[in-house]
């Protein structure tokens, strides 16, 4: 028999204090692996692993891409990276699209755990705002896992645990002070290693839906339907006119284009977006260098090094777009609008 040895935890506002309190209550030699997503600004430096390591007996570190996870260890999603669980006790970090405005987000961690480890998973939702984690908790429970949610009355911000409880449901609703004993009991419960409920968050099917729609659009099979394009003037959806002889589109406020005119508008918009990216990367590089100089003046060489690394990366990206995308063939870039 297998055990519930995968614990995924999601939190936001007030989460550091809640996580520290939970870590204090866990016993040494805890037989499960814990994975934490706490919403954090992308440019900041997270010291959450240090806080959790000091708070309790378990070692906490930032997760690393490709690392094999071990029991009795806390793995924290680093800033600006989604943390996913892969097969064979592997971890995956990626900078995929933000979900619910966040990267890292709770839902990707929860649904990957449900998909790979099924009824071995315990999903935990702590204090925070809005809905992140609710869909993930639905996936955990659908796969046979257990949901443990902080009592909303005990949370700094009640929305995340309240939404999770009302929409996904919860097997245990407890204050943080009582959560460690609940988890300690749950990880001792055996679960079947053969009974496995396939778990698929419906949102994971959307890439296939979008790909099918794109393919139908490319084959001119969406006449009379909403197209996969947006209006260059107002950003609204474009409907394709139902006629065989011409490829034409119209948005709901009246902007209309034939196919070639729309293609020309898209080319202009794409070039403008690329020049905006070049400008933004250059500005990011300069700002990061400025912050590095300020940190050197304060004597913080470590922080200065992080900002210098960001500055160099932004500079490389700016040059890459100019050299290989906007001008092509590695030729010397031609100045764009507003550049010198």
Annotated catalytic residues are 12, 39, 132
Bridge partners of 102? Answer: 99
Q: State CA 170 to chain mean position distance.
A: 23
Distance CA 222, CA 229 (A): 11
Distance CA 118, CA 106 (A): 17
Other CB atoms within a 10 A radius of the CB of residue 201 amount to 20
**Residue 294: CA atoms inside 13 Å, Cβ hemisphere, count?**
7
Strands (E) in 121-187, as ranges, are: 121-125, 146-150, 172-174
Judged on CB neighbours under 10 Å (0-12, 13-18, 19+), 130 is middle
Buried b (16+ CB within 10 A) or exposed e, 35-58: bbbbbbeeeeebebbebbeebbeb
Bridge partners of 248? Answer: 258
């Amino acid at each position: 028999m297998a055990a519930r040895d995968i614990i995924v935890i999601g939190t936001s506002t007030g989460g550091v204090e809640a996580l520290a309190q939970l870590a204090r209550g866990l016993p040494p030699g805890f037989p499960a692996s814990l994975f934490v997503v706490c919403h954090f600004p992308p440019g900041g430096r997270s010291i959450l692993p240090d806080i959790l390591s000091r708070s309790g007996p378990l070692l906490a570190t930032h997760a690393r891409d490709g690392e094999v996870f071990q029991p009795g260890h806390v793995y924290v999603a680093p800033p600006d990276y989604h943390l996913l669980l892969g097969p064979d006790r592997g971890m995956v970090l990626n900078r995929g699209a933000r979900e619910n405005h966040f990267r890292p987000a709770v839902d990707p961690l929860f649904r990957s755990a449900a998909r790979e480890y099924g009824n071995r998973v315990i999903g935990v939702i702590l204090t925070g705002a809005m809905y992140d984690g609710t869909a993930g908790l639905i996936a955990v429970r659908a796969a046979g896992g257990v949901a443990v949610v902080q009592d909303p009355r005990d949370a700094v911000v009640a929305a995340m645990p309240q939404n999770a409880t009302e929409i996904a449901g919860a097997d245990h609703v407890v204050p943080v002070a009582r959560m460690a004993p609940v988890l300690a009991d749950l990880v001792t419960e055996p679960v079947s290693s053969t009974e496995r409920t396939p778990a698929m968050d419906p949102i994971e099917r959307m890439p296939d839906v979008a790909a099918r729609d794109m393919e139908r659009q490319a084959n001119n099979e969406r006449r009379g339907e909403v197209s996969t394009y947006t209006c260059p003037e107002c950003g609204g959806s474009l409907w394709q006119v139902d006629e065989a002889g011409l490829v034409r589109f119209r948005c709901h406020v009246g902007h209309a284009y034939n196919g070639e005119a729309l293609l020309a508008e898209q080319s202009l918009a794409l070039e403008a977006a690329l020049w905006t990216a070049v400008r933004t990367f250059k500005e990011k590089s300069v700002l990061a260098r400025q912050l590095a100089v300020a940190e050197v003046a304060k004597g913080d060489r470590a922080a200065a090094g992080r900002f210098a690394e960001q500055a160099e990366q932004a500079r490389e990206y700016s040059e890459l777009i100019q050299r290989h995308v906007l001008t092509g063939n590695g030729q010397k870039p031609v100045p764009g609008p507003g550049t010198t």
